[in-house]
Amino acid sequence: MPIPTEKLQKVLARAGLGSRRQIENWIREGRIEVNQQKATIGDRINSSDKIRINGRQLRLSALEIPPRQVLCYHKPIGEVCTRHDPEGRKTIFEHLPSPKLGRWISVGRLDLNTAGVLLLTTEGELAHRLMHPSYTIEREYAVRILGNVDQTMLKRLRAGIQLEDGMAHFQKIVDAGGSGANHWYHVILSEGRKHEVRRLWESQGVTVSRLIRIRFGPILLPQKLRAGHHLELDSEKQKALLELVNLKASDPSVKKTRKFKRVER
């Protein structure tokens, strides 16, 4: 009988080493080897294969499924979502506790000047699905606008604007008040393209002077959670996220990773 195989990026993501997208990037960058050969996208592996990342061979503990943990982090302005920043800026990971096993995977990113809800998990498959556009998960933002906004502009933003990477629109825009030139709106969209909220507003000749993500799917930014602080999601909130992306609390396919044998460095 043939030995069962699985895609390399799926096994490593499921073990919490990164999201599938991150691991695919590592493969393209030549950072992963399988049996002393550079890995390629689509490679399949089995329990007899030896895997190296950045020259270091993985141990069994690195391929075990970490216990699922999900954090809600209130990202402040001025932090980046990369693990290491070449410009020496503060990263979100400086404020996070060590996970029980595995590593934190950021569910998408917020740019340097955007604050609010950022989810992190130790489960690669959960992170992958939460970021995948096919699930059309709602993101809600509070936006402070500098400039004059009229009903014609709001109608265009709801109907759709041609950006350089395709059409985009807000599913919902709610006037959240404010006075003078600075006015707050709550907007909802269901994709995570780079700087999409800012680009949509700025296409109309106004400026986003403050941007806060206040909701990701069913997870609201807790009112008492201060910027730079985090909380771990309880089982009910985790269940809501899992149901959103058609995952069960214990997916039998996850157990396959435990078949991998111990390998030495």
* Residues involved in catalysis: 111
Phi, psi of 42 (to 5 degrees): 100, -10
Quickly list DSSP for 38-84.
E--TT-EE-TT--EEETTEEPPHHHHSPPPP-EEEEEEPTT-BSSSS
* Cα–Cα distance for residue pair 188/200, rounded to 1 Å: 12
SS3 226: coil
Phi, psi of 65 (to 5 degrees): -75, 120
For residue 123 the two structure tokens come to: 């489960």
* Cα–Cα distance for residue pair 170/189, rounded to 1 Å: 5
